[in-house]
Structure 1
Amino acid sequence: MNNRFKASILKFEYDLWSYYLAVPKPIGDKFIEGDDRRVICVINKSTPIYSALMSKGDVYSIYVKKDFMKKHELVEGDEVDVTLEKDRSEYGMPMPESFQVLLDQDKEGCLYFHALTKGKQRTLIHLVGKVKNVDSQLAKGLAIMQHLKESQGQLDFKRLNILIKEYNNRK
């Protein structure tokens, strides 16, 4: 199932999130299955945005990050072509191959990772995937796995960031 429609890039009234697309309720309703609101959004045939439909009054919204706007030369008020597809991926976003290899090789770390909420899993996947260099991805992934085992699955992002810096300096 997918749907195409036109929408304008809008700006939130508050600063937590900057920009969003309004998705008409009848279109958004087709993609919601229980608590699962995950979709893949393509704007003007660009790189996909893995997101959740967020309720915003009589419409749904999809957050659009500032860096995406800049990369694709979009500004508030631009009308764009939007294609939505139901996200049926395991994690709600692509898993970097380097991190999947680490999960496959480390049973204990994998158990702790999969005991986390889906949102926390996506946060860790994003941390690894936002860097393109495979060596840096591996360093972050190794730090995450060590942290999960040391903390027995209790995330402490301050400690994790220290570990990531330590692993990055080992190169």
Structure 2
Amino acid sequence: MIFTFETTLTHNGWVGALIIPEDISEQLESAKIKRVVADLIVSGKEMTLYAGVIKRKGIKYLMLSKANKKALAIEEGNTVNVTMKEDTSKYQAPMTEELEAVLLSDYEAYEIFESLLPGKQRNIIFMIYGIKDSQKRVDVALNAMENLKMGNLNPIRFEKLLPY
């Protein structure tokens, strides 16, 4: 299913919120869709957003971080065109070639990565996805796998073990 709608950027108290219309919200709930890939278009600028569908006080929305708002050059009250569909990828996050290569080359790290809860897997994937330089992605991926092998399973508390 592909959903297309127009919404206004609001906030949920901390970050930007793109409210999902009620009819689409009901369809998402009946189909049990919790993670989506959304293409956002604002004033000619485009972005692909990998997000969870958040529900608070009966309202469903997509979170839009400060960095994403800056990249789109939008602020509260701006209109956003959204086209979204269910994220059916394995990790429900954009796996980079660099992380995939590191996981393929280190079976022990791969096994530990696969044993993590999906949210922790996504934290690691997004940590690496946000890096622009390919070599730095490799370095951070290697560092993350070394942390996992040391027993540090919390991506937020990863130590910098390798020079990068």
TM-score by length of 2: 0.89
- The answer as to whether partners of 1:28 and 1:53 remain within 8 angstroms in 2 is no
Give the deviation of 1:57 after TM superposition: 2.4
Aligned CA distance change for structure 1 residues 107 and 81 (closer, same or farther; 3 Å): same
What percent of counterpart residues are identical? 24
Aligned residues: 160
Residue number in structure 2 paired with 1:21: 18
Is residue 2:39 matched to residue 1:31? no
Residue number in structure 1 paired with 2:99: 99
Residue number in structure 2 paired with 1:62: 62
Query: What secondary structure is seen at the aligned counterpart in 2 of 1:77?
Result: coil
Q: Which amino acid aligns with 2:17?
A: Y
Which of the two has greater strand per residue? 2
Residue number in structure 2 paired with 1:161: 159
Structure 1 gap segments, 5+ residues each: none
Cα deviation digits, residues 67-114 of structure 1 (max 9, x gap): 111121111001121111111111111101011011111111000001
Cα deviation digits, residues 20-70 of structure 1 (max 9, x gap): 111123202323444x50011121171210001111223201001111111
Residue number in structure 2 paired with 1:117: 117
Query: What secondary structure is seen at the aligned counterpart in 2 of 1:167?
Result: coil
What is the alpha-carbon distance in structure 2 between the residues aligned to residue 136 and residue 119 of structure 1?
23
Q: Which amino acid aligns with 1:148?
A: L
Q: Which amino acid aligns with 1:162?
A: K
Structure 2 gap segments, 5+ residues each: none
- The answer as to whether partners of 2:143 and 2:160 remain within 8 angstroms in 1 is no
Query: What secondary structure is seen at the aligned counterpart in 1 of 2:131?
Result: coil
Residue number in structure 2 paired with 1:2: 2
Q: Which amino acid aligns with 2:163?
A: Y
What is the alpha-carbon distance in structure 2 between the residues aligned to residue 111 and residue 148 of structure 1?
10
What is the alpha-carbon distance in structure 1 between the residues aligned to residue 153 and residue 59 of structure 2?
36
